[in-house]
Structure 1
Amino acid sequence: MSERTKEEVLFRKYYKSLCHFAWEMTSDMLVAEDVVSDAFLVYFKQKDRISEEEAAIKNFLYSTVRFSCYNLARQRKIVNRYWEKNEYLDHYDSEIENNIIRSEVLAEILSIVATLPNACQQVFRKGYLEGLSNAEIAEEMGIRVNTVKTQKQRGMQVLIQKLNPEFLALFILFIKN
């Protein structure tokens, strides 16, 4: 029997069972077929070093497939860990970005609020930035609730006029949270 014929017989004899073995370990038939093909390539390159006994060849092929599957599993774990870490970092980066934007919006708002009359400034800060109710502001400052409403309305009008339009939507989100 020629060398090529022996290789073909060997390939036909073990290919399907090796594919099934690899599939059991990888749960992916395409990957299993690639692993088995690679195992045969390794065998054909190293057959001079391996005994010609069929049991030795069979053991070599199964061992090669098994270790290749283990290596794939290890690589997948590393890749999955990398992606999990990057997802965390992406989330962390977006949190930092949100904090920067929030700080810029707040700085812009505070600079506009600083131009308001003193009483209007206090009412605006307490109502929109500290989250106090109109009644709480009125009680704390010793003024009427209607005065609080008027001061908040005046402050908001000035803010709407002077605030960068891009920041206005962000300010609305900012005061809701």
Structure 2
Amino acid sequence: MTDTPAETGTDAVPEPYNGLPGAFPYAFRASESLLFKGYVALAVLLSLSIGLGFVLGLVVLFGQSAAVAGGTFTFSRAFFVFVGALVVAPLLAPVLLVARRHRRTGSSLRYDRALALSALVFVASLYVGLVVSVPPDLQEPTGSAVIGLLYALPQLAGLAPPLLAVGLMYAVHRRLRRDVDE
């Protein structure tokens, strides 16, 4: 691995990572944070599995609406893809941000760890949002007071946890973006 300009103090060209697929191994190699490296592995697995789920769901949606021409069904297909992108993009963002920082200016261990923690909060918030948005006829009886409380919330409230977690990730990035190890 070549040193970044921040490490060498020169104007050497940093190692490229050639877009999204290359950003994952680059960020994994460049970061010293074990927590962040663990998140990179988790982000790859979650992104692939969520992407596969959305692709299979889109195939089912196409199959159910193939005979119908345009209109609402065209909108629902596009909206389905849009929602998939909204779920996967925040999973990928921390990896891309860390890769970019390491390539351009160098990054601090503190930044990498904090971004990994905020990204893990986002992963947990996806689960909470899914539990809140379960339709009442699909809710299973549970002895857990927490799950019962989440079931009692309106389904639209399922958007709040992921949105708050994305806001947290953005705030962590903004707060620590200039933090570079000396």
Q: Same fold (TM over 0.5)?
A: no
* Structure-2-length-normalised TM-score: 0.24
Of the two, which has the highest radius of gyration? 1
Identify the structure with bigger relative contact order (alpha carbons < 8 Å, sequence gap 6+). 2
The structure where helix makes up a greater share of residues is 1
* Structure-1-length-normalised TM-score: 0.25
